[in-house]
Amino acid sequence: MTVRGVHIKIQDLTHRYTAKSPICFEKTNLEAKRGEALAIIGRSGCGKSTLLHIMAGLLKPTSGAVYLDDELVDKPSPRWVMMFQAPHLFPWMKVSQNVGIGLHFAGWSEAKKRDRVAEAINLVALQDYAENNVQDLSGGQQQRVALARSLVMEPEMLLLDEPFSALDAFTRAALQRDVRSIAKRLGINLVIVTHDIDEAVLMADRALIMAGSPGKIYDELDIDLPDPRERQDPTVQAMRARLMEAFHKAAGGAPAGGASCNGHEEPEIGNGGSAKPQVVSAAAMKKGKKG
């Protein structure tokens, strides 16, 4: 599988769902290098998930634009695919059929498809389950199928919307490690939206802290740690503490809104032992994004 990353450029992105609804985020700017793993951390309702949907071309922004290597993202494409919180597999299909569905949409021949699907299934270590119905699989295995379904398209960018938050701690840890290692091996850009600080430290090269209402990127931190990253490693723990501190600082200073920008709160889900980020004060603060 030959995959390459892409240069991401987000320019003055502003979004509100309807003219009357609150602004999700305003004039957000962001750049990411080819092959970079980026984590966007924020509380539920800060607009991070909306930002990801816009990056995937699943939602049109109110203003501003997302460019991938100077190509405007204005619709979904197999080149930039998204993994959701739940795997959303097609339950009437086998693992191999689920993985190959994108190639089927692209009109690939059965023979060509078979090889590529087998490769993607091997990548997520599910070769023994290729001919099983996806309903026979555990939650973690199903999320692996969803990962293979995304990777089979050889995307330039993989967008992850809290994809492991519904999984148990062990499965989550294994998938966090595997997704990062696969993305690094293939050179894909990762953009992970999460409210789990640990997840950001374990998976990303750089963490952006989004807070407030309307949401803004308040801070960013390079996560320059060697692979593989282990939760108990003192350097990982130290980075986690730094990120947590930065998060509290940003969240504490951000103006806290009431309801989220899309009118409903995202579910707060446990994050495997790490303390949950909390907004401690509602004092207003001017935009504090670095660099």
Partner 1 sequence: MNAVAATAGIGVSPGFMKSTGHGLFNFFAGLAILFALWWIGIFLVTLDPSMASFASFGPAPAFRAVGTLWHEGLIQTAIWTSGSRLGIGLLIAIGIGVPLGIFMGRNRTFGELSNTPFQLMRMISPLSWEPIAVIVFAGWDQAIIFLIAIGSIWSVAFSTAAGLAKVDPNWFKVARNLGASHWHILTQIIVPAITFDVLTGIRLALGVAWIVLVPAEFFGVTSGLGYTIEDARESLAYDHLMAMILVIGAIGYVLDGIILRLIKRYSWHRGG
List interacting residues with partner 1 (CB under 8 A): 56, 58, 76-78, 81-82, 84, 86, 88, 90-93, 101-102, 104-106, 133, 135, 149, 153
Residue 113: which of 153, 155, 157 has the closest Cα?
153
- Collapsed DSSP state (helix, strand, coil) of residue 175: helix
Q: Is 202 exposed, middle or buried (0-12, 13-18, 19+ CB in 10 A)?
A: buried
Nearest approach, Cβ of residue 287 and partner 1 (Å): 32
User: With respect to partner 1, which residue has the nearer C-beta, 8 or 101?
Assistant: 101
User: With respect to partner 1, which residue has the nearer C-beta, 31 or 136?
Assistant: 136
Nearest approach, Cβ of residue 261 and partner 1 (Å): 19
User: With respect to partner 1, which residue has the nearer C-beta, 76 or 252?
Assistant: 76
Nearest approach, Cβ of residue 135 and partner 1 (Å): 5
Scan for tokens 């087998």, then name that residue. Answer: 118
- Letter for the amino acid at 137? L
User: Would you give the DSSP letter of residue 290?
Assistant: -
Can you point out the beta strands (E) in 136-212? 157-161, 189-194, 206-211
- Alpha helices in 204-264, H assignment, sequence order: 234-253
Strand partners, 13: 28
Nearest approach, Cβ of residue 102 and partner 1 (Å): 4
User: With respect to partner 1, which residue has the nearer C-beta, 101 or 209?
Assistant: 101
Residue 191: which of 201, 178, 204 has the closest Cα?
204
User: With respect to partner 1, which residue has the nearer C-beta, 76 or 139?
Assistant: 76
Nearest approach, Cβ of residue 176 and partner 1 (Å): 21
Residue 103: which of 157, 161, 53, 151 has the closest Cα?
151
Nearest approach, Cβ of residue 167 and partner 1 (Å): 17
User: With respect to partner 1, which residue has the nearer C-beta, 82 or 210?
Assistant: 82
- Which helix (H) or strand (E) element contains residue 66? strand 63-68
- Letter for the amino acid at 141? Q
Strand partners, 194: 41
- Collapsed DSSP state (helix, strand, coil) of residue 114: helix
Nearest approach, Cβ of residue 89 and partner 1 (Å): 8
User: With respect to partner 1, which residue has the nearer C-beta, 98 or 271?
Assistant: 98
User: With respect to partner 1, which residue has the nearer C-beta, 28 or 97?
Assistant: 97
Q: Which pairing describes strands 23-32 and 63-68: parallel, antiparallel, or unpaired?
A: unpaired
Q: Is 135 exposed, middle or buried (0-12, 13-18, 19+ CB in 10 A)?
A: exposed
Nearest approach, Cβ of residue 84 and partner 1 (Å): 7
